[in-house]
Structure formats: structure tokens, C-alpha cells
Structure 1
Amino acid sequence: MATIQIESQISLTSSQKQAALLASNPSHRFILYRGGSRSGKSYLLSYILLMRAINTPGSRHGIFRKTAASCRQTLFDLTFRQVIHDTFPGLLSQCLISEAEATITLPNGPDPRNPYEGGAIFLFLGLDDGRRDKILGNEFATVWINECTEVDYDHVSFLMTRLNQKLPQNRTDELGAPIFLKPKMFFDCNPNLKTDWEYKAFIQHTNPKDNTKLNKPWQWVEAKLNPEDNLANIDADYIDDTLGNLSVREKRRFLAGEWSDVNENALFRQDDIDKHRRDIHIDELQRIVVAVDPAVTNHAKSDMTGIAVVGRCSRGEIYPALFTKSVLKGWREWRKPLI
């Protein structure tokens, strides 16, 4: 087998290292990395797939996006090559790269005279209409769906049927028996709505198709990575100047990395609140009313205390206040001795 430098030169952030531990647990088969924009999810997953392939000659790793064009432009042309270069300097020039087929083959095949024959291969593919036949003939040790909110669950369940390649790694256990690479399926996303399939699968542990309980729910795990954890690798002003100017709902998705509620029957919907949001100085208000609906008990199932602050200006317009987390936390701390 061709020699590949084993010691990684990459530097992961502490949160990326913690998230990567999910991939090393053999009981975890389906793993979602969710979080805000520029939090390093794609970079981390590229690294994980590369490390899975290094010691497993012959392994096939399918990397998917909604379209083949977007998969090629963002992952094949950019991120994945950068990760190979950063992790093992000099290895990228030794890989067999097919621009036409969008594949990268590692030089770790069993025959040193032709290390690409039987080497681990990465296939960058799309889930566009008409591409299933090309995928159907493949078996994968790893499947990664990038930006999985763009992909229907029908595609996810289809790719699950392709996750069945079992291969020994170039290492053994304490008794000398080969260690097999566990097939795993990875996902990443900027979370959107709680009605999306990934929230149902990874948070509620239900099948998105029929809402039945997932078989072996402990196999479905998720971790959150956010831009604040990746400051060493992004522009210093990106969070405040770019993400800081998004709407409340967009901040929840692209900064906090959280799903949003969607309730069509809600009296006040987030989209309507965002649309009519206004900034007004307190000096412009003629009257301010603070209304409190206190909780009457203090246990885990108690109702939350309701607080409403509303101001009226000289034009007769009414402005409800937006509470920050620190204000609400201060209120909770303040009310504790009173209960």
C-alpha cells in the first residue's frame, strides 16, 4: 500500500473536536451537525470523511447536495480539497482527481505500483431528477448530505439503502482481529423550521414520513456548531456586521443555529412581528404600562410568568417592548425569593 502520512496537521477548534467525538462512537449511525453560518460544519465533515478513508482502502464515500452543480462548486472544487491540503500537506497532489466525474481517489490501494487501484474514493454527487440510477449501483461506507434542509426525506431514505459497505481498516484490535469501518450517514444544516424532517428525526426521533418512532433512536444524534466557536477562521466583523443585521428569525437560523416555530393558528406570528418591528426611543412615549401575570407555583411543570411592557406615543401608536434574554433572566432571578 502507498504510504500516507498518518499524523494530521489540521487544527480543529475545541467545539469541532467535541462534535467530532460523535463520529467516533460506534453506536451513532446518523449524525447531524447543525448551526449558524460559517461555523465550520462543512470543514469538519470533510475532515471526518477524510480520516475515515485514510485507513480504509477500497472504501467509497458519497458526498451529496441537492444538485450536482452546487456539490461540485462548493465541496469538490473548494472545501474538500482545502481540507486535504490542510490535513496532510502534499497529499492532494498525490490524489487522482477526475474533473469530469467529480471524484477524488486516495493513493492507498494495496498495490504500490498502482496505489489508485483499490484506493478510497470520494464521489461528489447531486440529487437532481434522473440521477438515482447512477447512485443505485453504488455502495457507500459513508454518506454525507450537505445543506440537508434543501433535500426531501425521500432522498434521505433512498440513500440509507446505499449505506452498506463493510470494509476492514488498516488496523487491528488488541487480539489482532481487523477493525471494520462502521457505515455512517452525516448531515449538516442551518436549521429552519420545526416542521422540517431533520427536526422530527434528530430532535423528536420520529420518522418524518409517518411520525412513528424511529427504530434504535440512540443512533440518531446531533451537535450544534456556531460562528462564535469559529472566530479563529472567519472575518472578525462577520458576526456583528453581517449576521447582526439579519432579521430576528434569520438570526435564529444563521447565528444561533436553532429551529423556529411555525404555527399557522398563532395570534402573533414571527414573520408579522418582524415585518412591523420599529425602533422608538423611550422619551417618545407618553405612557408606559407593565403588566405581569405571575406563576402561582414554583416547580418543573409550573406555567411561566407572563410579562408585557407596552408604550403609547403622542400619535396614539402602541409599541410592545422586546425583552432580551438578560432582562428575562433578571426577572426570573428577582422573583425567586417571592415564591
Structure 2
Amino acid sequence: MKNRLINGNVQGGIDVSELSKMEQLFKVIDQSAVILRKELNCLYLEAVAETGENLFQEDILQDELDEVTKKRLQKEYSSVKLNQFEQETIRKAYQLAVLKGMKEAIQPNHQMTPDAVGLFMGYVVGKFMEGNQSYTILDPAVGAGNLITTILNMHSHSIEQVYGVDIDDLLLQLTYVNANLQKHGVELFHQDSLQPLFIDPVDLVICDLPVGYYPNDEGAAQYKVKSEEGHTYAHHLFIEKSLNHVKPGGYVVTLIPNNLFDSEQSHLLQALLKEEAIVQAIIQLPLSMFKQEEAAKSILVLQKKGEGVTPPENALLVNLPKFSNKQGMNNIMSQMNEWFKLNK
């Protein structure tokens, strides 16, 4: 799957008029998806992908629909013009529809990176990649594409090429449509990311790590973090895979469980990081974001070792307050900006 890269303007925040536009576009996506779900006898998520493709192609691609249904859909589509919407508005409207579908048919791998987290990861990426006029990105667990398109909308002026990989064909189809609607070029691969990837090393890997055990013991055997007995943690394997696929001096920015370094397999991961990477930052997300403390996550920033790569005097270690705590966030951001001045 390929689409052409068209750079768009970076938009910060969303005003009232954009909010109403987002609601308008979501309503069209949602109502047309409801029609398609009924007529095609498919999942709502599948219908979201179908209707998104219709919107992008400006046509109704489902030949099996009768004329009455096509007219109903055409009426929905004719009420919006995609070129009148900002990329972030499109992303948020599409994201709402995908979230609705994920709540309807919950699967462990059908979860989306929260918006506030994606935007903060985008800020972190901007800080660490500052000074790079153009760079390449890989997301080895791209899911429905919300994280990668959030970062693209923030930094598309600097991003040269984007690769996304996922084993779930429905999620990959959602990413494909998501990127097309926002006019972003993303090269997508439908496969198990922990198997060999035919992608050149990139400057940056971003990932909301899939957490759990990897069932393929034979596949895990090729990795340094493989467990001595039983299944290996998939999130450990994804970190090693990410380091394998980033250039020397490149960065890996991942969302990790807070207990990453406390598990019975953590000594294997720590040995790998000591050998191959520099821990630049661990940023703990607000505990209030998570229903259970054991589900809490942090942002981990690694830099792959290489010639001329030196570790910071001290890694950036941050506990974020609630995002709604403006004073607390301003204080933390000031501290982080001071760290970047000293270490970048």
C-alpha cells in the first residue's frame, strides 16, 4: 500500500469553528458507516474503512449496493468537502469513529493511543529531532494510525518518509484510509513486525508498544531478550526490533508499561540497553489517565549507540502532572526545555 506524500500545514489546537467542523465530519463518517454496516453486514470498524475510502475517492466503491442506498450515501458525502478541513480536524473526526468501533467490538490489539499522549509524544519527538531537516520514521505497531498521523500533522515539514507495520489487516486498512484522508504518504506493510522487515534503517522509531507475551517462541529465539523459559514479552522484543531498525545515533520513542524494568525478564532487556542504547528520557504519564495503576505507562526515549554519540550527564526523568493542571505542566515544560538546552 502506498500513497503520495503531500505536506500539510501544522495546526496547533482546535478552535470552536474547527470543533464544529470536526463534529460535522464525524457525523457524516458515522452515519454513512451505519448505513454500510447494515447493507454490507459487516463490523462498524470495517464500515468506517469503507466509508473513508469512499470519501477519499469521491465515489461509492461498493458495487453490490442498490441505488437507493447509494443515493442515501451520496447525500451524506455531498454535505462535506474534504479540502475545506484541516488535517487535524480530519484526524480527530476519523479517530472518534474508530473509537466508537473499538468500543463495540473490543479486542486486545484494538486500542488507540490517547490524544493527549500522542500530542505529548509529538512534542518529545520534535525536541529530540530538532536540527534534522528531514528524517524517516517507522511505527512497527501502527494500529489504526492515530499516533503516526498525530506526529505527521505536527512535523510533516521535516518528515521525508514514513513506514507502518501491523499484523492486523483491519487496523492497517484503517491506517491506509486515515493517512489518505489527511493527505499523508505512509508506506504500509501487513505482517508480524517481529519477523524480518524489508525496510531500510530509519532515523526514528515511534511505537505504542503491544504489551503481553509473544506466542511464537521460535520467532523470539533470534532475539537477545528472548526468555530463558516460556514465552518472551512482546514489548521487550519490539524494543529490540526498534533498535535493530534505527540508524546509529537515531532515536526510539515508545510508550511503555511503568513496570517495564521490574519484571522477571527485565534483566534481559537491561543487558540489551546497556549494550546497544543510551536511555535519554523516561517521562511518566499522569496516573489519573489510567483506570488501574498497574496499567499506567511512560514515554521511553532511547538513542542507539554509534560514533560520536555521547550520553547526557543525567537522563531526563519526569513525572507529569495531570494535563489539566496548567501551572504544573508549565513548570515541568520549563524544566524539560532547560534539560534540552543543556543536552541537545
What range is the shorter-chain TM-score in? 0.3 to 0.5
Higher helix share: 2
- TM-score relative to the length of structure 1: 0.35
Greater radius of gyration (CA): 1
**Structure having greater relative contact order (Cα 8 Å, sep ≥ 6):** 1
